[in-house]
């Protein structure tokens, strides 16, 4: 990088570093974690600084980077916590095969739900089938159907609402 960018970046950091650190600390409430996230945010800002658009305020841009680093951390923490809460205990449990009667009952119930699902209007049926039977994510469904993600979510919710009374007696 050239030295003028380094000087501009250094001036920005000198001016806003305390505010950014306090902001991160207010979000995570742990000094060492805040220090780590602050350092990650500053590295990301330094790397992205040459592409910084002068129309926006530097302070707002730095706060946004700091917030995104906190969100990344929370996402990662949530995934790790989920692993420990769900996956680890699965390894400790004995693997017990369900009884043949239970397998038959589950298959019958699944077929009944699928038949009720097919009765829904196409706009509600398609996202539910893709999500639950073809294991697509909401983003993938949005891309495949050329619909906004919010529309897919709404159709999923409404489809479930319409399906619930139909399967309540199963």
Residue 143 CA to residue 62 CA, distance in Å, equals: 31
What spatial distance separates the first Cα and last Cα of the chain, rounded to whole Å? 66
C-beta separation of 91 from 48 below 8 A: no
CATH classification of 100-167, choosing from 3.40.50.450, 3.20.20.70, 3.80.10.10, 1.10.10.10? 1.10.10.10
Instruction: Check for a shared fold between 3-92 and 100-167.
Output: no
DSSP state of 22: H
Residue 21 CA to residue 39 CA, distance in Å, equals: 9
Four-residue CA torsion sign, 154, 76, 67, 11? negative
Say which CATH topology domain 3-92 has: Rna Polymerase Sigma Factor; Chain: A (1.10.1740)
What is the distance, to the nearest Å, from the Cα of residue 45 to the centroid of all Cα atoms in its chain?
Answer: 23
What is the enclosing helix (H) or strand (E) of 128? helix 122-132
Query: Domain map of the chain by residue range?
Result: 3-92, 100-167
Return per-residue pLDDT of the chain as tens, 170 residues: 455 555 588 888 899 999 999 999 998 999 999 999 999 999 999 998 888 877 678 889 999 999 999 999 988 887 776 665 555 555 555 556 777 777 777 777 778 888 888 888 999 989 888 888 888 888 899 998 899 999 999 998 998 888 888 877 76
Q: What is the pLDDT of residue 133?
A: 82
Q: What is the pLDDT of residue 1?
A: 45
Q: Residue written as tokens 């505010």?
A: 19
C-beta separation of 148 from 142 below 8 A: yes
Q: What is the pLDDT of residue 87?
A: 56
What is the enclosing helix (H) or strand (E) of 44? helix 31-48
Residue 63 CA to residue 42 CA, distance in Å, equals: 10
Q: What is the pLDDT of residue 21?
A: 95
Buried b (16+ CB within 10 A) or exposed e, 104-134: eeeeeeeeeeeebbeebeeebbbbbbbbeee
DSSP-derived secondary structure for 143-158? HHHT--HHHHHHHHHH
């Amino acid at each position: 990088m050239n030295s003028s960018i380094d000087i501009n970046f250094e001036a920005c950091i000198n001016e806003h570093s305390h505010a950014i650190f306090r902001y991160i600390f207010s979000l995570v409430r742990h000094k060492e974690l805040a220090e780590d996230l602050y350092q990650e945010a500053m590295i990301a800002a330094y790397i992205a600084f040459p592409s910084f658009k002068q129309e926006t305020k530097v302070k707002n841009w730095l706060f946004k980077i700091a917030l995104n680093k906190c969100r990344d951390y929370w996402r990662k923490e949530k995934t790790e916590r989920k692993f420990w809460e769900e996956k680890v205990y699965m390894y400790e449990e004995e693997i017990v095969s369900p009884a043949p009667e239970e397998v038959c009952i589950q298959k019958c119930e699944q077929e009944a739900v699928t038949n009720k699902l097919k009765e829904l209007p196409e706009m509600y049926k398609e996202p539910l089938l893709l999500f639950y039977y073809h294991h697509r994510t909401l983003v993938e469904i949005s891309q495949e159907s050329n619909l906004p993600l919010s529309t897919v979510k709404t159709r999923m919710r409404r489809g479930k609402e319409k399906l619930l009374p139909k399967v309540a007696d199963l």
